[in-house]
Structure 1
Amino acid sequence: MRHENGSTAIPEGRAALRRRRAAAAGGAALAGSIAMMLSGAPAQAVDTADETPTRIPQLDPAVASGLAPARPAGMPAVAAPAAARLPAPAAAGIPQTYVVQRGDTVSAIAARHGLRTADVLALNGLSWSSIIYPGQVLRLTSGAASAPAPAPSGGTTYAVRAGDTISAIARRHGVPTAAVLAANGLNWSSIIYPGQVVKIPAGGTAATAPAPAPAPAPGPAPSPARPGASYTIQAGDTISAIARRHGVTTAAVLAANGLGWASIIYPGQVITIPAAAPSAPGLDAEQVANAQLIIRIGRELGVPDRGIAISLGAAMQESWLRNLDWGDRDSLGLFQQRPSTGWGTEAEVRDPARATRAFFGGPGDPNGTRTRGLLDIPGWQNMSFAQAAQAVQLSAYPDRYARWEQPAHAWLAALG
């Protein structure tokens, strides 16, 4: 129907339908607002009370039932914002700091105080792979850290600084290192960290922490200790460096102190330096031990130095001065003696002492007259180095013994 002013009249039925729809939309929005209030408003709530939609939005079933706030069609749902990242300093019942106890974990500490693990990690500059230690002080709130707990009766406390050691702290306070370790449940292998609070037992004089000073210029390395003496570990030391400085093997230092390759050493720790093992140019520990045995037996038998040097050269050529359990055909041991040619059983030719006596021969030859040793060769003293060795060994390569003449005399000079 058209009115006189030219406007088009809205049929009564359609107008009533539009009013009913608008009322339904308003009711749904109101119900949604109530639901939001009951469940807690988001961090940034938007007041839309004065907004009048230009068209009726499509409502989802949850909105229509009043279980969720209304939102325009096509707008994605927004999850409720996460809780604040850092706990408030004034949170009731939450202390500002916590001293780590043995067996603690960051997650357990956070749960115990109703905090998130991630927040405690962030407050203390830690990561998920960080390690915490008994006595370490952790912040639990974003407020200023509180002062350390008062010292126990009869003692005091000390906050560890970079470069500190338990022995240095104990010395500074005039108490034994063992007393500080015992007071804090530590042992000689424990690790301390800057910021850790340690107890100083009664009996010493209180000392204030010295002001940080520039690092001193590196001084000369400590003088090596006498073989078999003790050595006090300095900052920066390693077992391998200590062993090298004292002319002993790393394995020997570890064994002398009951340590393993994974053991940790600390400044102020006292370790034993074993007697330096003899050395000879070009020989390792096993070769040195076999060379010493050959020299000792040669001396016992009264063999001249040249004869001992010949035996050393022969053993080096035959087995690299090692007690081998294999060789050409049935050859075995230091001198690659063959059971099949009368030098003894497999066990006998692999006995370094017996094999050496058989090489030298003479009145003390364990094989009697079955084999011929160096001392049994007429005129061996007038033979060349290689000829004398070949007269005993009967090698297919007789000239190869000559190259060991000079090294053998050097080994004899170093070990004999």
Structure 2
Amino acid sequence: MRRLPLSPPLARRRASAVWPAAVAGTIALSLTGENAAHAAPPTPPLASLPPLTPRAAAPVSAVTAPSTYTVKPGDTVWAIARAHGVDVATVQAVNGLGAGSVIHPGQVLTIGVAPAPSDTAPAPAPAPTERTHEVVPGDTVSAIATANGVSVDAVLGANGLTRASIIYPGDVLRIPASGAAASASVAVITAAGLDAEQSDNARLIIRIGRELGVSDRGIVIALGTAMQESWLRNLDWGDRDSLGLFQQRPSSGWGTPEQIMDRERSTRVFYGGTADPNGPATRGLLDIPGWDELAYADAAQAVQISAYPDRYAQWEQPATTWLAVLG
């Protein structure tokens, strides 16, 4: 018999669980369903992901001729750039790619011009200075950023805020230096559409996937699943007893609450396979026959058994970008 869905209370919602700029919007949680692992949070609109900010070119004494590379299955822009000793921004710029662009097997990329070593090291740039600003009535982050000659995202990133955050009179905000060095870390985060906490969790999911030999597609499925389940945050609350990055439930055999809150263990349990620390108690992605031939949302649903299986599909393209930027 099908039960009516339940709407859990919001009392345990943590103030720290805020949306990044690229996933802005009001979060109205309606966690319902009879899923074995969780009930998924609602779907916010996803803004277009901005391109990476190219790095300033270093002084060179000579350059080498550009080369080409034919994309193979499983390749990412990040991996290709690293293998050829250039940065991701250079490969993207030379080939007209954005942060959200997808490359395909057989595609020919121009690797670009890599700088040759210079005999004379450039003089070190002066260290940027950082200031503070005490919020007064009527202040906005935008006005503060403009007055100090820095971007809104730079101020948000320096203070662990998002565009949904509210500032109050008496708050003291850090004002980052306006130089390129001060904005570099912010550029990486905002280009991927993730804040610092989400980026850290995404890197962990990618690292463990690489260690287990999971394909890029499998890692992209894991990243999108974690975003749909917990906004890529290690939540200590959820629907009924759901917890952690993947909102796994102790009552459904995913482990003890302490084990599920262990980010590394819960990620390995999601991937499953022969190295699954949960053994045969649960079924991870690698345990699904033919998972790599399933549609994106179907593969995630096979593990999660969500009340909202269609919601995973929206994260396929963003997760592909996160892997390319952070992978």
Please, what TM-score do these two structures have when normalized by structure 1? 0.38
Please, what TM-score do these two structures have when normalized by structure 2? 0.47
Higher RCO, 1 vs 2 (CA within 8 Å, ≥6 residues apart) = 2
Larger radius of gyration: 1
